[in-house]
Chains A and B, each alone.
Chain A
Amino acid sequence: DGGITQSPKYLFRKEGQNVTLSCEQNLNHDAMYWYRQDPGQGLRLIYYSQIVNDFQKGDIAEGYSVSREKKESFPLTVTSAQKNPTAFYLCASSIARRKDRYGYTFGSGTRLTVV
């Protein structure tokens, strides 16, 4: 079955360290996205990529970096510059020109905690 996989499910990081969250999809989707969920703030877009080797900043890109070297993979690095990194991170992918039930698929998320 096709799907989108995020790993790890739980991640702990010491202050000052960079950490990379993995996101892999085998849906042959062109676009991939990273969202962050905080209580009371919904889902906020961090970065997105519509094609390989290209990506754009979302609404809250500061302190994050991404790469899109392969269609299937869109890893997110949370750098030490991110002032409040503790959150639930969601990766999603979508097929071009489809926004309905067949368009957007989410992973199951990674909860990052800074200790």
Chain B
Amino acid sequence: DQQVKQNSPSLSVQEGRISILNCDYTNSMFDYFLWYKKYPAEGPTFLISISSIKDKNEDGRFTVFLNKSAKHLSLHIVPSQPGDSAVYFCAASVQGAQKLVFGQGTRLTINP
């Protein structure tokens, strides 16, 4: 049972435009959401997070939006840069639990 889903395996965006990565979840007990970025043969690195008490969090070029009623979150990257080309994982956790549940990942390619 996939509790966190990233339905787009890949996304291609032109440099300078906006990249929008989507994530859906089914467990209403999730209260904290994170995005990780991963390059090939490396471990994921933290990008941005959001608590369920918020609906938006910004950090520089990265913004995460949370729609609890739709059980949906999205990551916006603007402007997109070549170094943003990587696999992006959405993750979620239940209150009181330390472990994270990950989505399948979306491979983002930024074209010059």
The chain A residues found within 8 Å of chain B, CB to CB, are: 4, 6, 9, 31, 33, 35, 40-45, 48, 50, 58, 88, 90, 92, 94, 96-97, 99-101, 103-104, 106-109, 111
Contact = CB atoms under 8 A, between A and B. Distances in A.
Contacts of A6: 43
Interface string B27-42: 0000010101000011
B98 A31 contact: yes
Contact of A96 (B34, B36, B98, B105): B98
* Interface residues on chain B, size class: 20 to 34
A2 to B, nearest CB: 14
Interface string B80-112: 000000000100010000111111110000000
Q: Is the interface of B mostly helix, strand, loop or mixed?
A: loop
A99 B98 contact: yes
Main secondary structure of the interface of A (DSSP, over half): strand
B45 A106 contact: yes
A42 B102 contact: yes
Given A40-B9, A42-B104, A43-B89, A94 B98 contact: yes
Top 3 nearest A-B pairs (CB, nearest first) are A106-B43, A42-B104, A43-B102
A44 B3 CA distance: 11
B22 interface: no
Interface of B: 6, 9, 32, 34, 36, 41-46, 49, 89, 93, 98-105
B89 A45 contact: no
B47 to A, nearest CB: 9
A100 to B, nearest CB: 5
Contacts of A103: 98
A101 to B, nearest CB: 4
B75 to A, nearest CB: 15
A42 B103 contact: yes
A31 to B, nearest CB: 5
Most chain A beta carbons < 10 A, residue from B44, B49, B103: B44
